[in-house]
């Protein structure tokens, strides 16, 4: 299989490394930064003598090399610079995501598109719009990461193996995400049976601030190891038709009472993309939180459209 990663930044290059070293796919790493994708790809090729795998990774600025990709991962974008408002960043990244998606889809019309660039839910919608693809072939990565963070904090708190921990997070990627303790378990036991409400609240807040916590620890830059792992899991489920159930930003058409929006909900990922959306029973509070998250995404979509 062939995966194109657009944007050879921290997330894109780490994802490229995981995909080849886990023997999942051959990779094309594309970036506009002159020499960067070429240099990173050569470096990763030279690691093969030690890692002992036969996957290939090539760096380029030329979309022709991305032809016939099975999956296109969009990580291209800018980080917020001093003096730049969230709104400015939104518009800049919207331009980038729409342009790179169009370029890539023109060469790989049968691909599946996985968006990583923030603000995630808005960018996924825009990528879908310009791609002309069926909605199930476009999705965004955020929930896997948010759930993995929640799982991490649950496992640390209870001092149990993370292998037995599951977590469910709905909604947009950002302050308004909706972690669901009732649907988060240790070996099938809801954490609401194992932890006090106060402790759960603390873990939920830490999950919501997961990205910001890492930004505040680093002098520059933001999280990329766990984001790359999360995107890798989605790519793997799609390419190998694994039918993994993951929270992903997918197109909603009436599910959860929402329509014409990409938002994080549990989805089953197979070779054709989103094979199924799981509709959970939500309490009124949970449904209201999801609604609020959807409204924030819609406001940003309106900003881009204006």
Quote the tokens at residue 196. Answer: 């006090």
For ligand NAI, the closer CB: 11 or 167: 11
Q: How many residues interact with ligand NAI (rule CB under 6 A)?
A: 28
Contact region for ligand NAI (CB under 6 A) — 5-13, 237-245, 250-258, 284-292?
Answer: 5-13
Among 3, 5, 6, 186, binds ligand NAI (CB under 6 A): 6
- One character per residue 58-87, x = contact with ligand NAI (rule: CB under 6 A): -----------------xxx-x--------
The half-sphere exposure of 40 on its side-chain side, counting CA atoms within 13 A, is 25
Please name which of 96, 114, 203, 97 lies closest in space to residue 151, comparing C-alpha atoms.
203
- The question of whether 53 is a catalytic residue gets the answer no
- Give the integer Cα–Cα distance in Å for 29 and 252: 30
- One character per residue 241-270, x = contact with ligand NAI (rule: CB under 6 A): ------------------------------
- Give the integer Cα–Cα distance in Å for 230 and 208: 16
Determine which one of 55, 137, 173, 208 is catalytic: 173
Containing H/E element for 96? helix 86-107
CA 20 to chain centre: 19
- One character per residue 196-235, x = contact with ligand NAI (rule: CB under 6 A): --------------------------xxx--x--------
For ligand NAI, the closer CB: 183 or 262: 262
For ligand NAI, the closer CB: 47 or 79: 79
Residues 104-133 contacting ligand NAI, CB under 6 A: 116-118, 120
Exposed/middle/buried for 97, CB within 10 Å: 0-12, 13-18, 19+?
buried
- Give the integer Cα–Cα distance in Å for 49 and 47: 5
Active site residues: 173
């Amino acid at each position: 299989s062939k995966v194109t990663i657009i944007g050879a930044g921290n997330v894109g290059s780490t994802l490229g490394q995981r995909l080849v070293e886990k023997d999942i796919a051959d990779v094309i790493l594309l970036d506009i930064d002159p020499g960067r994708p070429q240099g990173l790809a050569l470096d990763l090729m030279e690691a093969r003598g030690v890692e002992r795998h036969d996957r290939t990774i090539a760096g380029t600025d030329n979309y022709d090399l991305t032809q016939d990709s099975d999956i296109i991962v969009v990580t291209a974008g800018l980080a917020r610079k001093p003096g730049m408002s969230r709104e400015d960043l939104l518009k800049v990244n919207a331009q980038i995501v729409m342009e790179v998606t169009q370029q890539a889809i023109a060469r790989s019309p049968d691909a599946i598109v996985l968006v990583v660039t923030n603000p995630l839910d808005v960018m996924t919608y825009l990528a879908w719009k310009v791609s002309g693809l069926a909605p199930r072939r476009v999705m965004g990565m955020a929930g896997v990461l948010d759930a993995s963070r929640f799982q991490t904090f649950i496992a640390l708190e209870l001092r149990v193996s993370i292998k037995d921990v599951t977590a469910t997070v709905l909604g947009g990627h950002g302050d308004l995400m909706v972690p669901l303790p009732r649907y988060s378990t240790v070996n099938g036991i809801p954490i609401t049976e194992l932890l006090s409400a106060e402790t759960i609240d603390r873990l939920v807040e830490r999950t919501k601030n997961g990205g910001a916590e890492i930004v505040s620890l680093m002098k520059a830059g933001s999280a990329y190891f766990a984001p790359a792992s999360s995107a890798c899991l989605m790519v793997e489920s799609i390419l190998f038709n694994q039918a993994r159930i993951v929270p992903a930003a997918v197109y909603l058409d009436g599910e959860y009472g929402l329509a014409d929006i990409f938002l994080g909900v549990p989805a089953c990922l197979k070779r054709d993309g989103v094979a199924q959306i799981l509709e959970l029973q939500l309490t009124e509070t949970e449904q209201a939180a999801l609604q609020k998250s959807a409204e924030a995404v819609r406001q940003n979509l309106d900003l881009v459209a204006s």
